[in-house]
Chain A
Amino acid sequence: MPNLQEITEKVRTGLGDQITIYSTKGDHRLYAVVEPGKLLNCIQYLFTSLGGRLSTITAMDKGSRFELVYHITFDREGVVGSFKCAVPKFAPQIVSLTSITPAASWIEREIYDLFGIKFTGHPNLERLILSDDWPEDKHPLRKGA
């Protein structure tokens, strides 16, 4: 059964001011903001110490910036923690999570494909779902694309 309080406590204790929890919903949703520089450490902690699992990463075009949302599922507590990270549009890149889990490989390639965000440290950052002859500079999920 979902136990939001337990996870929220553990996240607060373990990550302290590296993240800012801004919202919780019901007994199973946690929303927080994390700085790009602290992302890798935070995710590593969530994985190793709290048994988190990467469900997926959502990328969004917010106009002035990109927002990456890392959805981490805590199976035992039945909670999904969504950790948001802002990426500037003029230099869209962030650290890759492939050093923590191979599950990040495909989703980061997909985001690179559809948004043009680069993931530093990714072993083979190439197209995933668009065709090989798709124009390099067109990223369909950007607003106004």
Chain B
Amino acid sequence: MVQATSERKSAIIPIGPYHPALKEPEYFKLYVEGEKVVGLDVRIGYIHRGVEYLAERKTLHQDVFLIERICGICSNVHTLCFCQAVEEAMGIDIPDRARYIRTIIAELERIHSHLLWAGVAAHVIGYDTLFMHFWKYREPICETLEMITGNRQHYAMNYIGGVRRDLDTEKYGERLSAKIDELKTNVGRLVEAVIEDPLIKSRMQGVGVLTAQDARKYCAVGPTVRGSGIAVDVRKNEPYAAYRDIDFNIHVFDSGDVLARTLVRLNEVIESTQIIKKALEAMPEGPIRAELEKVPIGEGIGKAEAPRGEDIHYVVLNGTNMPERVKVRAPSYVNIPAIAPAIIGSNLADAPIILMSVDPCFSCTDRVAIVNRQHSKSVHVPLEELVRNPRKVQNSLR
């Protein structure tokens, strides 16, 4: 990773990254000089479960269930990518109705994921009231997903060849539409409050700037780069599901700071409500799954715009019902290394919000190690402590 130029020896007391108090294990190491962050190191692998290894030893249908469990927040998009990859390898065209259902579920997922993130980000800048409000308005979306799919996460909607369950528009269409309208009004009000709030501006404007040049250099994706002026979105560049047939906008801001990335996500929530309504109106009749034929020898790539950016799956088939190789690359894999140019040079107190601003898929986690290069001292703190009392953490490093 991006290393500090000279590192003196420092004693690191191992009290993480696994701990009963943590939500998800992960390890950010911040090198500081005084109050400035001068280096970032990230260790991953604490939640490595050998999914790709397992996927080669299960059938394609079992793999859909396995792949869904890669992530709890963006579970749907992983199965979407996997199914698209297998469908491409098998040369299957899925029915139109399935494309629209996939789109609706994907956009509902985007809404709940962005609202979850918005709440966590609000908490990280110390604005707990806003955190509670965002999560309050997220709740009806989770209830809606449960109404349609039977579950709040891990919806098990995508299936090779189409979708598993139909979306009964007669039974649920009106209720879904009403919930979406309500969300649009509520979140719209919150977004206005966010844009005009001087407190939020001072914590987010000009903080953690990721230049367009760095964003490209690090091959970052999603809202992380759309906040730096780069208009890239898989739904527009390489439309999948029903996105080719639905008219919608992507949101791009130029300033490259935390505020820009925040505004991208909040605007996407509003945009998603429009996409869902258009998809509901235009939903065609027909079957929801294509017939599957014999598995060929072949390869396929599935791409989708997850809430965090481009998700890509590559599947190689060998003529049997078990895949030869399944490769999964989630968006956070390229976005987390891209934090480094954004965070170097900033204040320690801004570090948590900058780390969170790329929406790392181990969201409100974890362990942060802070190394003071000048005094060769280091300390392990929960991220929560850095959020609540940065001055105390700073003092412990003197």
Contacts and interface: CB of A to CB of B under 8 A. Distances in A.
B333 A106 contact: yes
Interface stretch (A13-21, A72-80, A87-95): A72-80
A55 B329 contact: yes
Nearest to A100: B217
A102 B327 contact: no
B137 to A, nearest CB: 32
Contact of A78 (B237, B299, B314, B327): B237
Contacts of B303: 73, 80
Nearest to A82: B301
Interface string B306-346: 00001010101000000011010100011001000000000
Nearest to B2: A102
B44 A128 contact: yes
Contacts of B314: 56, 58, 69, 71, 82
Interface string A60-85: 10000000010101011011101000
A: interface residue count bin? 35 or more
Interface in A2-34: 2, 25-26, 28-29, 31
Contact of A75 (B232, B244, B301): B232
Interface stretch (B47-55, B67-75, B183-191, B274-282): B47-55
A134 to B, nearest CB: 10
B327 A56 contact: yes
B219 interface: yes
A33 B237 CA distance: 25
Contacts of A141: 52-53
B146 interface: no
A121 B299 CA distance: 30
Interface of B: 1, 44-45, 48, 50, 52-53, 88, 216-220, 232, 237-239, 244, 299-301, 303, 310, 312, 314, 316, 324-325, 327, 329, 333-334, 337
Interface of A: 1-2, 25-26, 28-29, 31, 53-56, 58, 60, 69, 71, 73, 75-76, 78-80, 82, 101-103, 105-107, 124, 127-131, 140-141
